[in-house]
Amino acid sequence: MGRSGRTVLLEHLPRLRRRLKLDFVAVNAENAAGGFGITEGICDALYDAGVDVITTGNHAFDQRDEISLFDQEQRLLRPANFPSDNPGRGAGLFPASGDRHVLVVHLQGQLFMAPTDHPVPALEQELAGVSLGRDVHAILVDMHGEASSEKYSLAHYLDGRVSLVVGTHTHVPTADAQVLPGGTAFQSDLGMCGDYDSVIGMEKTGPVSRFVTRMPGSRLQPASGPGTACGVFVITDDATGLATHIEPIRVGGRLIESQPAPIDQA
């Protein structure tokens, strides 16, 4: 979320990648450019820091001069249930450490969001003919949406078929990280990387004024204080591709920290 989020992520990710011996890193960066969209320069900085794939969401195309990037850059995804003639793609197979491969599918929810196609048909199209543990070592689904009920429903629908379902969009990390009965790891929202002395990442004066007065104001700006980087750490079984462990990550900034133990101590 803005410069604060980029700064804290770029500061901590290389260390986390070494310390936790991460094989694959996905980052949702739809708010990275001043809170609205993403640019080629930001993509390059994230890749250099150790990011393998970037997902987005409803703000994917906010940087109008950068829309062609979605056709040019295979590691940048927009939701798969956007209209088919939109630039880019909503899923991809990506290499991971140790000659492994990870399928990433990016979806957007429908409740309280701008209209999109139903996410399940788009999801099933991307999963067709792909068997977890046989064809790919892991499958990650980013469900970008407002409603936790929608994210939970998708996670239970996919339990045992994918490695991980994570929610993005609400900018607040939820306290429900778990491995579901069928072996799919889940957290209904990862939270944001950004300044939490804010209103979901925006400098708080403007949103508070709108809330109190119900009057429109100037364009919202990302908060610029020290950021917290939020995410999850997941361990999967190489034989099945299913999750054996999920744990929140929160480092830097204002929130209470949560850092998984180094992998050789886990």
pLDDT of residue 265: 52
Mean pLDDT of 230-238: 97
CATH number at residue 223: 3.60.21.10
Mean pLDDT of 200-214: 95
Confidence of residue 266 (pLDDT cuts 50, 70, 90): very low
Mean pLDDT of 127-132: 96
Mean pLDDT of 75-95: 97
Task: Quickly list H helices, the chain.
Answer: 2-19, 40-49, 69-72, 119-127, 148-158, 205-213
Q: Which residues pair with 162 in a beta bridge?
A: 159
Domain that holds residue 231: 2-265
Mean pLDDT of 214-237: 95
Could you tell me the two tokens for 220? 């919202």
pLDDT of residue 262: 84
- Residue 59 is among the residues annotated as catalytic for this protein: yes
Among 12, 59, 106, 137, the one annotated catalytic:
59
Look at the chain and report how many structural domains it folds into: 1
Burial class (CB in 10 A: 0-12, 13-18, 19+), 138: buried
pLDDT tens, 13-32?
999 999 999 999 999 999 99
Mean pLDDT of 146-159: 98
pLDDT of residue 205: 94
pLDDT tens, 91-122?
999 999 999 999 999 999 999 999 999 999 99
pTM value?
A: 0.95
Name the DSSP class of 17: H
3-state secondary structure 160-215: CCECEEEEECCCCCCCCCEECCCCCEEECCCCCCECCCCECCECCHHHHHHHHHCC
Average pLDDT score over the chain: 96
CB 32 within 8 A of CB 56: no
263: pLDDT strictly greater than 80: no
